[in-house]
Chains A and B, each alone.
Chain A
Amino acid sequence: MSAGEDAGFLRLTLVEVRPETHDVKTFVFRPEGGVPAYEAGQSMTLRLTLDGETLFRTFSLASAPGRGDTIAMTIKAHAPGRATRWLHETLKVGDSIEGGSPRGRFTIASRQTERLALVSAGSGASPLMAMLRHLADTALESDIAWLHGARTPADMLFPGELAGLQRRMPNLRVAMVASRPEPGWFGFTGRLSRRLVSVALPDLGRREVFCCGPAGFMDEARLIHAAEGGRRELFHVEHFGAIAAPAPIAVAADAPAAGFAIRFGDKRFTARADETLLEAATRQAIVIPCGCASGMCGTCRVSLVEGEVAMQHNGGISLEEEAERYILACSSRPCSNVTIAL
């Protein structure tokens, strides 16, 4: 099956690798046929072939749109992460991989106010850097508080570039927090807490927050923003399947306990009304190509040939695609017997 071509994958040629820290690198790709339209903060699903196996991984774009013919992703090599280690260790300048269309609702364009806080931990800084670079290109006077946490001073991302941006952006404030400080570190230390925020970013509750980092970090940041008086709708997070699935959809009382019959090409499986098509397929060892499993990346987009589903996604599918009866298998629960196709 060639799901990739159907889902509009692009060929990406690696043109530059920039080390950021000891385990974080920025990969600069040139997409064949030009850079697809995207918004600062969006992400892209990469299709990687490792030892004959196809893996889908979603990463934020760290580059700002409208800058030349390349895109960039700042990626940390996770110790247990096969794909990220392969990117770091095996992928060489000149090699190419495939990437899907940029997607996601976590964009600077979605902001509702003008006082921003860009809050990140670790490589979660990547989409926020895209936003900051975009604001540097389009609105130098923006009122922005940058708060970034990392383990050691050497793990801090983008210190040099932030210093350069501060020279150009009069209302950019930067605070860095090291959980394991070392001699010579003059920034903040510790972990994210209200007490830390009260000194590092005292007006957090008055700002619209874009936050990206590990799930626990983002949960804590959301609670702190709310506890500082921030409005929930002014807190945005990026997440790639690490976070709880969308709120469960109420299951109809008359749904058959055994589940609905699902046809997928020449395969057949059953799906209960309380599970997604992707969960049901995976449970029965049927492969639907997928990435984030949280309705963001669009990799598991399939065509709904027959039947009804209830879909609750996270921006991984466009209104046009929905109108053309495409669904995301990870975000759709069956309401009847269903036939889907790639």
Chain B
Amino acid sequence: MIDRDHIARLLAQRREGFSLPQGFYLDEAMHEADVRAVFETEWLFACNACEIKKPGDYLTLEVGSNPVVILRDRDGQVRAFHNSCRHRGSRICGKEKGRATRLVCPYHQWVYELDGSLLNARQMPADFDRSDYGLKPAHVEVICGMIYLCLAETPPDLSRFRQAITPFIAPHQPDRTKVAFEMTLIEEANWKLIIENNRECYHCAANHPELLASLVEFALPDDPLGPAQFQELIARKTAKWDALGLPHAPADGGDEFRCIRLPFHEGALSFTMDGGPACTKLLGDFTDPDLGSVRMFRAPNNWNHFLADNIIHFRVLPLSAGRTSLRTTWLVHEDAVEGVDYDVNRLTEVWIATNEQDSDLASVNQRGIRSMAYRPGPYAPSEFMLTHFTNWYARQMEAFAGAPAPLRVAAE
């Protein structure tokens, strides 16, 4: 059971700029609270529009205990529905992905149109009003080929995010891409540790040799830890991107999101073992293979890289307090041909290795946090994005739990 006062007390103990109190990472009840306060409330990255290109294409996911189906209807609109039959609740679409003319419940074959309306319910009486039993919709927004999903009745405003990131991402033309590879990793760690790990590169030097062949460890153009060559590299690359009309300066996303274009190491073009191109057919209408990467993060569950030749999306969904699913998709130009323009292994090996290393780090972090000696520890200056994230998270939880009120009777 969720004890809102307990959450409020833990939040009161929290120190800004420190890792979270133990309970946030370990308690199953806190997992339930996270699902309610964050995952059933906020906009979540669900999948890519290019994964459901044609009418009837669908993809399923589970948000906490909520099965959801995202599909493209007959008019080409992206829609999301709770994947639960209005008869007796059975899950309708069982596959992770597919194409359907209609959604048919496997239990008693209630038939739903792609717009969610109930078309047929056999053996129901003549006076049964099907219009009362359409699938329950969820909110969706498509931003630069990314499908965001919100299960809340009244979703938060996404317009600032949409406006800020579109100039960065639109030139990569994600609508003209296809999935070259996808992979789901189940990590033995709380979802917040997966995000925290992703939000800093303090750990990179010792752990990610493959990634660091191309990625620069610095998160800001004026990073004080960056060597003089880094400043010079930034100056050169940003001058070129300015000439191409490609934005690069960090967007003002506050705690909610981050978007910035940063260069790779000198000579590197893509996330490959040698820094060379991963796909020789460039995205969109690009003719310059050296566009660094647009690094975009949005709380709570998604980070991305947009390159000249491929796009990588990462989606985090919590499974329990100590288990998290990480889905990674690699997108290339829709006309790129495997074995000609790209090799899947070359395209994916850096981030597959990096994901596995990060998974190990997160699970080791999770195990260590179980210690009776665990106390929240301070973030380094280079971990400033963890402060952003934990502040964002704390605000969500405060809104959910309400102010600490020791005398108040628990709401439920």
Identify the A interface with B (CB < 8 A). 193-195, 198, 202, 205-206, 220, 223-224, 226-230
Contacts and interface: CB of A to CB of B under 8 A. Distances in A.
B336 A226 contact: no
B109 to A, nearest CB: 44
Nearest to A225: B287
A202 B289 CA distance: 19
A195 B284 CA distance: 8
A195 B285 contact: yes
B341 interface: yes
Nearest to B336: A229
Contacts of B355: none
A228 B288 contact: no
Contacts of B285: 193-195
Contacts of A227: 281-282, 286-289
Contacts of A206: 340
B178 to A, nearest CB: 15
B280 interface: yes
* B contact face: mostly helix, strand, loop, or mixed: loop
B344 to A, nearest CB: 15
Nearest to B340: A229
A45 B272 CA distance: 47
B64 to A, nearest CB: 43
B280 A229 contact: yes
Nearest to B283: A227
Interface size class of B (residues with CB under 8 A): 10 to 19
A98 B386 CA distance: 76
Contact of A205 (B281, B284, B288, B289): B281
B412 to A, nearest CB: 57
Contacts of A205: 280-281, 341
Contacts of B337: 229
A228 B341 CA distance: 9
Contacts of A198: 335
Contacts of B340: 206, 229
Contacts of B281: 205, 227-229
27 contacts: A193-B285, A194-B282, A194-B284, A194-B285, A194-B286, A194-B287, A198-B335, A202-B335, A205-B280, A205-B281, A205-B341, A206-B340, A220-B287, A223-B287, A223-B288, A224-B287, A226-B287, A226-B289, A227-B281, A227-B282, A228-B281, A228-B282, A229-B279, A229-B281, A229-B337, A229-B341, A230-B280
B332 to A, nearest CB: 10
Contacts of B336: 229
Nearest to A203: B335
A223 B280 CA distance: 12
Interface in B306-350: 335-337, 340-341
Contacts of B288: 223, 227
The 7 tightest CB contacts between A and B, nearest first, are A223-B287, A229-B281, A229-B280, A227-B282, A194-B285, A229-B341, A227-B287
Given A223-B288, A226-B287, 12 more contacts: A194-B282, A194-B285, A205-B281, A220-B287, A223-B287, A226-B280, A226-B289, A227-B282, A228-B282, A229-B281, A229-B336, A230-B280
A226 B280 CA distance: 7
Interface in B256-290: 279-282, 284-289
B335 to A, nearest CB: 8
Nearest to A219: B287
A228 B285 CA distance: 9
Contacts of A230: 280
A229 B278 CA distance: 11
Most chain B CB neighbours (cut-off 10 Å) among A226, A228, A229: A229
Contacts of A223: 287-288
A331 B340 CA distance: 38
B307 to A, nearest CB: 13
Nearest to A231: B280
A316 to B, nearest CB: 30
A116 to B, nearest CB: 18
A226 B282 CA distance: 8
B231 to A, nearest CB: 28
Nearest to B279: A229
Contacts of A228: 281-282
Contacts of B287: 194, 220, 223-224, 226-227
A92 to B, nearest CB: 46
Nearest to A224: B287
A224 B280 CA distance: 11
B63 to A, nearest CB: 38
A98 to B, nearest CB: 42
Nearest to A202: B335
A224 B279 CA distance: 14
A317 to B, nearest CB: 34
A113 to B, nearest CB: 13
A198 B289 CA distance: 18
B392 to A, nearest CB: 38
A193 B286 CA distance: 9
Most chain B CB neighbours (cut-off 10 Å) among A195, A198, A224, A227: A227
Contacts of B341: 205, 229
B328 to A, nearest CB: 24
Contacts of A226: 280, 287, 289
